[in-house]
């Protein structure tokens, strides 16, 4: 929006010596010393944390508006100027009096000059830090898998995602998807939204509350977020624009309470799929998909209309086979899927760690077998038999008719009881390489041996006791190394740590023919 308060609020020199030292994205709040979501006041250059942390930036504005009867009018006006601040990570500008993001500038272009100065400070700090890490890496052992900095494990060139207030569920899913190479590359190669004409031409576009739903694009903000990750230009990226679009188009995720990561992933993929089915920025998504030679027609699975990159990569097909136990009538139905939700068999639910002695360890294969085994439906799920013309007892069995390029497996860890939703905290053993899906196929003889083998790409983990509480993190592999993504903190880790995780969502990528032959 066009803010009318810039001329009276932007008072600091663009290269003000009052700015703190170091990288702007890691500046600390002057009140609570938090380095999460720092904002700098464009009146006095003081730094405070955003409203998603402890809200000291907003409190700084509110304190400046308190009228002081013992002061002159001019002093009150000067004190009331602290209305505009800038995000030190994304460089977006916000006016508290307008309660919206700002897209215009002062006549002298001071906002843009401050933005460029902060970017220069960030780049200088990053260059110095990268040089320091490179020297440490060169001096370390060639056999070392981890880079140690100040006694902690630190990843090089990996970018975290800032927590905007219980948004760890979103961060874990975004980091996982960013490490699925074919899916991520498709979005990063999409053309950006055309910049607007007129006074704001050439400037970055920010979504504002005054814009309608038709002016927001999940695909565009998702693309921007993926482009920001793994560039190594900053230690943490703030996905505020993407989160705002999520609020706009996914009402279930409005607010700052903890959400279910699996539910968010499904909503995200479904909405990306729907938006990609139409044209965007004057370019047909289907034409872009057809130009991508690696996503051939044989790999497409249509869900709710035409195929997109979502269904081409995550889409598979299940065959649901139901048999009437009275007359033997068989009914078959084919259902497309983007992920499979697997129950953890009840006989394993008391074993909470890999090394616990009481009973055998549950494996991913046990969960898959439970999903595909023949099951007799209970009295509440009687099948309407067309031959008997009434509801009858029946059996049900799932077969996988077509495997996807990326197999997403969701372990159902949350179950409703009479009054609350409990978590199944059972450890489930899963392979890092060579998950063999051939025995679950409807026609395994029609699939080559390599087409049924999958290697792990990412794992989402829920820490805590309930779906409405706790914390989400993710493990993912990138260029042969495993990383742990915990909001803005990213650390190198090893395979032994990954396999001990209590997985909630697993992302397996179809193995290429040249890979080895390890099997589950």
Active site amino acids: 168, 471
Residue from 48, 464, 10, 486 nearest 258 by CA: 464
Q: How far is CA 516 from CA 433, 450, 459, in A?
A: 9, 9, 22
91: left (phi over 0), alpha (psi -120 to 50) or beta: left
Residue from 435, 462, 475, 467 nearest 451 by CA: 435
Provide the strand spans (E) within 403-515.
Answer: 406-411, 414-416, 421-423, 428-429, 435-436, 453-463, 471-478, 481-486, 489-493, 503-510
Helix/strand/coil percentages in the chain, nearest 5 = 30, 25, 45
* Tokens matching residue 2: 């066009």
Q: Which residues pair with 460 in a beta bridge?
A: 474, 505
Q: What is the DSSP letter of 7?
A: H
Residue from 263, 379, 280, 385 nearest 324 by CA: 385
Q: Burial letters for 64-99: b for 16+ Cβ neighbours within 10 Å, e otherwise?
A: beeeeeeeeeeeeeebbbbbbbbbbbbbbbbbbebe
Dist CA 499 CA 127 (whole Å): 35
Say which residue the tokens 């742990």 belong to.
484
Residue from 236, 252, 254 nearest 244 by CA: 254
Say which residue the tokens 């509350």 belong to.
209
- The CA-based angle 465-481-339, given to 5 degrees, is 50
Say which residue the tokens 């495997």 belong to.
403
- The answer to whether residues 186 and 309 touch, using CB atoms and an 8 Å cutoff, is yes
Residue from 102, 84, 6 nearest 46 by CA: 84
Q: What is the DSSP string of 79-125?
A: HTTTTEEEETTT--EEETTTTEEE----TT-HHHHHHHHHHHHHHHH
């Amino acid at each position: 929006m066009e803010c009318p308060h810039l001329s009276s609020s932007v008072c600091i020199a663009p290269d003000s010596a009052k700015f703190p030292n170091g990288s702007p994205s890691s500046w600390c709040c002057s009140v609570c010393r938090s380095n999460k979501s720092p904002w700098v006041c464009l009146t006095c250059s003081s730094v405070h944390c955003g409203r998603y942390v402890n809200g000291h930036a907003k409190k700084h504005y509110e304190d400046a508006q308190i009228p002081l009867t013992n002061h002159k009018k001019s002093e009150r006006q000067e004190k009331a100027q602290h209305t505009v601040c800038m995000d030190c990570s994304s460089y977006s500008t916000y006016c508290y009096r307008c309660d919206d993001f700002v897209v215009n500038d002062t006549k002298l272009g001071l906002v843009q000059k401050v933005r460029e100065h902060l970017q220069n400070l960030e780049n200088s700090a990053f260059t110095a830090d990268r040089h320091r890490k490179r020297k440490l890496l060169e001096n370390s052992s060639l056999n070392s898998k981890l880079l140690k900095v100040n006694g902690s494990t630190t990843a090089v060139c990996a970018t975290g995602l800032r927590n905007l207030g219980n948004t760890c569920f979103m961060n874990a899913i975004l980091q996982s998807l960013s490490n699925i190479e074919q899916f991520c590359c498709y979005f990063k190669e999409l053309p950006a939204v055309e910049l607007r004409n007129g006074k704001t031409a050439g400037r970055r576009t920010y979504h504002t509350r005054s814009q309608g739903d038709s002016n927001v694009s999940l695909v565009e903000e998702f693309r921007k977020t993926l482009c920001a990750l793994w560039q190594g230009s900053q230690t943490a990226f703030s996905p505020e624009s993407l989160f705002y679009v999520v609020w706009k188009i996914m009402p279930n995720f409005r607010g700052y309470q903890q959400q279910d990561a699996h539910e968010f992933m499904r909503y995200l993929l479904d909405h990306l799929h729907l938006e990609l089915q139409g044209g965007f920025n004057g370019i047909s998504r289907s034409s872009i998909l057809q130009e991508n030679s690696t996503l051939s027609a044989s790999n497409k699975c249509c869900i709710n209309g035409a195929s997109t990159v979502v269904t081409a990569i995550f889409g598979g097909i299940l065959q649901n086979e139901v048999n009437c136990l009275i007359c033997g009538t068989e009914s078959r139905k084919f259902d497309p899927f983007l992920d499979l939700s697997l129950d953890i068999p009840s006989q394993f639910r008391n074993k909470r760690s890999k090394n616990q002695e009481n009973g055998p360890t549950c494996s991913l294969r046990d969960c898959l077998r439970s999903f595909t085994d023949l099951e007799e439906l209970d009295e509440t799920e009687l099948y309407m038999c067309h031959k008997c013309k009434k509801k009858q007892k029946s059996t049900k069995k799932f077969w996988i008719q077509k495997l996807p390029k990326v197999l997403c497996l969701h372990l159902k860890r949350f179950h409703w009881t009479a009054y609350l939703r409990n978590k199944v905290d059972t450890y489930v053993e899963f392979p890092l390489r060579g998950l063999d899906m051939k025995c679950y196929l409807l026609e395994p003889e029609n699939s080559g041996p390599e087409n049924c083998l999958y290697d792990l790409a990412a794992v989402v983990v829920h820490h805590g006791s309930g779906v409405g509480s706790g914390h989400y993190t993710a493990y993912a592999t990138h260029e042969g190394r495993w990383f742990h993504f915990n909001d803005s903190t990213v650390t190198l880790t090893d395979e032994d740590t990954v396999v001990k995780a209590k997985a909630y969502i697993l992302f397996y990528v179809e193995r290429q023919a040249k890979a080895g032959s390890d099997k589950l």
